[in-house]
Structure 1
Amino acid sequence: MHTIATPALWFVFGLIVVIALVIDFVVLRAGGTHKVAFKEAALWSVAWIALAMLFNLGLWYWLGGHVSAEVANETALQFLAGYLVEKALAVDNIFVFLLIFSRFGVSAELQKHALMIGILGAIVMRAILIFVGAALIQRYHWILYFFGAFLIYTGIQMVRAPNDEGDFESNPLMRWMRGHLRLSKEYSGAKLSVVKDGVRWYTPMFMVIVLLAVTDVIFAVDSIPAIFAITEDPFVVLTSNVFAVLGLRALFFLIAGMADRFHLLNYGLAGVLVFIGLKMLIADVWKVPIGLSLGMVALLIGASLVASRFLPRTD
């Protein structure tokens, strides 16, 4: 797989992610089971965004000194576009997380623990999917057309069913867990299972974690092909994805109280998916400039947010 990254760059990226996760875990443990306030979530969101931009700046500087200014500029724009796309699509992911937490009655104090575990699983799963996707694209270039058509189909489905919340009771995974595991109806703090009278019971938190993981995999199937439309370099795809996911917990609490204000965001996200899908389909005829891609993503998301502010919700 062709990439601009050297072993040293991979090492630095991995080290930054490990340090960031350790700090996040330490802060999480020190804070205890408290409800995350809007101000705290906003500060953490700014910190995660700043970390991503600093990494991009460092990557740009390194490439400018070791490769060329042209490659440095192109890669920095690709990272920024990938980060923006992933961040935007993560908002739709968060709405589903809200539904899961509401359905299982997860308290605000326990939600951050569930999200932290979900983020770790998301990083591992996305890394696997990205390397598999990069290998497939390198060997079968035509798969990009499949990705493009799939993104267009997904975008159209989001418009046709913008309020599809899913039925957790009829979910095959839920039915399997109910049929094969001893499931407790009571929470035991952040524990995933408890032992009662020598028998292990799985708490509702276990079901929540499983559903969060499955939901993230489903959304990754959308977001990862979308970033491959921007760049096929696995290093840029993985780093932009991971840095966007690292801020997912803070972003969740930042918008959790404002979900109703973004009732038209699905249409903006659908527009992004359709645009990127079309970009993939015409890639061999015309390669859409990164600057134009950034502008279109920002325009579509921004327009849906503004429209949500001024147009009332209807049945």
Structure 2
Amino acid sequence: MDVSPLIWTLTIVFIVALLLFDFFFHVRKAHVPTLREAAIWSALYVGIAVLFGIGVLIFGGTGPGGEYFAGYITEKALSVDNLFVFLIIMSSFRVPREDQQKVLLFGIVFALIARTGFIFLGAALINSFAWVFYIFGLILLITAGNMLKPDGEDAHTGDNIMIRLARKVLHTTDHYDGDKLFTMVNGKRAMTPMLLVMVAIGGTDILFALDSIPAIFGLTQDTFIVFTATAFSLLGLRQLFFLIEGLLDRLIYLSYGLAAILAFIGIKLILHALHENNVWFINDGQPVEVVEISTGLSLSVILGVLVVTVVASLFSPAGKAQNAIANARRHATSYLDSEYTADPAERERILRLLLAERDQIVALGPKYKQKAREEADLMELLERARDSHRAAVERGEAEPLGPSKILPHD
């Protein structure tokens, strides 16, 4: 698609303006967004992305338009998977609820910068070396295989290589000072854990880009479409986090769906590489006659796989149990953390969510209730949360729970 420098400039200015608007009108003042606020702004950003895609369809044609929507949907799905890691990082570093928006916005901006760099690098390599398609295809196939591996012991600890490296290099204070990166301790300037969080988020953004950029280049080689589909998939990610945060652990089959999509795109890339082949040891450096996968088929496969995996996850009893147990663990930890929030209403919200999750575990039946009871750390957290609430009631700082209790075996 032929795009003039003026259109490039206007598009970049529009994206930057959206980020600035998000910062000055939503993130600058620390607060906990309501579910309604998150839903409205998530829908607005998706609407902007869809309208932009319709514009590509009108002015660029069905080919570029289909490539844009295939790229946008793929990148959006991958960004949802990235939210799992963001959630783990913020839980690991005990980021105060009111400041999580700023961390997420930083992650989005850094991801956009990192991926833009990879996009132009990838475009330059593709234009100069056709064999790069083989490399991108292999990267996606390896990534798909890694997604199918069972979670390791560190899957829910947030103790990945970037965080371990950041902890060793940066020495910070034990406590936050709002959203400040630096604070004063005993008259000396010191780094807060917020800086460590930013480094961890930024590092994982670079790792994410290594998967997402080859994926979208497998759907289109148009640099403008790659850039805009990636950018619009990241915009609104902050609001989406607060909208679906409580459902993330329920999407137990999403990784399988993403693995299938990445493997499909990887195969598509390798077929395209064979079609454009100039590698001397493959068919004597001549193109190989193979069937290439159309954009329409790619879009249909991506949508179909995502719909099946998301619906299967939402209706799975195992997914419901895993989600309730994981959320109960997080909410009990947050409720016991005196630095998690200074808002009494937020603490009340956490407690109510904790009770709802307890009821979900009980409603799923003896099998999953027993599964929760076997989680020793979870039981200890719930007991401490119950005792903390009882103490708050005795001090007159909280309302009694009535007949409801926190522990699932009460």
Shift in Å, 1:59: 3.0
Quick one: which of 155, 161, 170 aligns to 1:165?
155
Q: Does 1:27 align with 2:16?
A: no
Which residue matches 2:68?
Answer: 79
Instruction: Tell me the SS of whatever aligns to 1:185.
Output: coil
- Deviation (angstroms), 1:166: 6.8
* Matches of 1:53 and 1:295, distance apart in 2: 17
State the match for 1:46 in structure 2.
43
1:173 shift after superposition: 4.3
State the Cα deviation string for residues 213-270 of structure 1 (Å, max 9, x = none).
1111111111110110111111110010001111211111111011232111111111
CA distance in 1, matches of 2:51, 2:59: 12
Instruction: Answer yes or no: is the 8 Å Cα contact 2:27–2:102 preserved in 1.
Output: no
Larger Rg: 2
Contact kept, 8 Å, 1:261 with 1:308, in 2: the verdict is: yes
Which of the numbers 208, 216, 222 marks the counterpart of 2:205? Answer: 216
TM-score, normalised with respect to structure 1 = 0.90
SS in 2 for 1:160: coil
Instruction: Answer whether contact 2:85 2:158 (CA < 8 A) is retained.
Output: no
Q: Which amino acid aligns with 2:33?
A: V
Q: Which residue of 118, 124, 130 corresponds with 2:113?
A: 124
* Higher RCO structure, 1 or 2 (CA under 8 Å, sep 6+): 1
Q: Deviations over 1:260-283 (max 9, x none)?
A: 321111111111111111111112
Task: Give the partner amino acid of 1:165.
Answer: A
SS at the partner of 2:189? strand
Taking the TM superposition and a 5 Å limit, the aligned residue runs for 1:244-259 are 244-259=233-248
1:298 paired residue among 294, 303, 317:
303
Structure 1: distance between partners of 2:122 and 2:89? 29
Letter in 1 for 2:70: A
The verdict on how the C-alpha distance between 1:205 and 1:152 changes in structure 2, with shifts beyond 3 A counting, is: same
- C-alpha root-mean-square deviation of aligned residues, in Å? 1.9
Partner of 2:183: 194
- How big is each residue's C-alpha offset from its partner over 1:65-124, in whole Å with a ceiling of 9 and x where there is no partner? xxxxxxx21111111110000000111100011111111111221110101111111111
Partner secondary structure for residue 219 of structure 2: coil
Give the match for residue 316 of structure 2.
311
Number of matched pairs: 303
1:178 Cα shift? 3.9
Question: TM-score scaled to structure 2, two decimals?
Answer: 0.70
Change beyond 3 A, Cα 1:45–1:29: closer
Work out the CA distance in 1 between the residues paired with 2:267 and 2:140.
Answer: 9
**Distance apart, 1:286 and its partner CA:** 2.2
Instruction: State the match for 2:250 in structure 1.
Output: 261
Change (3 A) 1:198 1:274: same
% identical equivalent positions: 40
Cα deviation, residue 175, structure 1: 4.5
CA drift of 1:29 comes to: 4.5
For 2:162 and 2:54, how far apart are their aligned partners in 1? 42
Unaligned segments of structure 2, at least 5 residues: 276-289, 323-370, 372-410
Question: How many Å apart are 1:292 and its aligned residue?
Answer: 0.9
**Counterpart selection for 2:142 from 140, 150, 153:** 153
Which of 53, 56, 59 is 1:59 aligned to?
Answer: 56
